[in-house]
Structure 1
């Protein structure tokens, strides 16, 4: 069941899907409608299941799912990945590539593959104080507290 983000507990599972490009303003409503429809139907046979999402910076699709009273099975996860693959194809973006770094440069969010990101660090275009997005977080409490953090406080600090 799709619910408001504010009702999702801190223990909820989180999946962050960073887009390889910013979504265009004319795409946002369509993406949000598709995501809501998917979450409404995802595990619709389980009345204890709650899910929500956020679309942030016109670049990140974030799913939240409470599985304390409604266990997520492999087929449930497969359904979500299949949905994301469909969005990738429809909008011609990459959403499942985890070998990238998303970070802020001024007011803009950048998406770089790790090889290019390391070059930016070497050239000091990105520093230890740069804000990076940890897209590998797994719970809502981590999302709320550790998703947008200085690079030096993240697992990316190994590249400094």
Structure 2
């Protein structure tokens, strides 16, 4: 997840790199049935059909190297786990954990606010549980104190 949205030219360039990467992405010499997509100009999502050929340690390492390369080439931070993303009026916002807590405290973010559950593991989870109300996500436990204030 990015701290700032990508502009159209960056999305296009990164998508081309994603397509090239997934076209040659392998695990132990077997081509992975994979794709990469950019969502909301903030999120890069890689998916792999684990039944065709599963991702392994080396292929996962290759994906991390690829994402780190994107980070350095585009001046973005994709691995900052303290960035929190949410939707307000159908627009995605990304803030620090501290700012997220403040927004909860001042009721700008509520239990009904849509957040992004980046812990999803499968395509089905991604499709059903990635964008969810805060009250239905792990965010509810982490920010319980702020939500109850």
**TM value normalised by structure 1:** 0.84
Q: Which has the higher contact order (CA 8 A, sep 6+)?
A: 1
8 Å contact kept, 2:116–2:131: yes
What SS does the corresponding residue of 2:85 show, helix, strand or coil? strand
Would you say 1:89 and 2:72 are equivalent positions?
Answer: yes
Of residues 46, 52, 59, the one that matches 2:42 is 59
What SS does the corresponding residue of 2:21 show, helix, strand or coil? helix
Deviates more, 1:51-60 or 1:65-74: 65-74
2:30 paired residue number: 46
Would you say 1:26 and 2:6 are equivalent positions?
Answer: no
Alignment of 1:1-160 (within 5 A): 18-43=1-26, 45-47=29-31, 49-158=32-141, 159=143, 160=147
C-alpha displacement of 1:88: 0.5
User: What stretches of structure 2 of length at least 5 have no aligned partner?
Assistant: none
Distance in 2 (CA, whole Å) between partners of 1:41 and 1:104 is: 34
User: What stretches of structure 1 of length at least 5 have no aligned partner?
Assistant: 1-17
Aligned residues: 142
Which runs of structure 1 show a deviation greater than 4 angstroms over 4 or more consecutive aligned residues?
none
Distance in 2 (CA, whole Å) between partners of 1:142 and 1:124 is: 28
8 Å contact kept, 2:117–2:129: yes
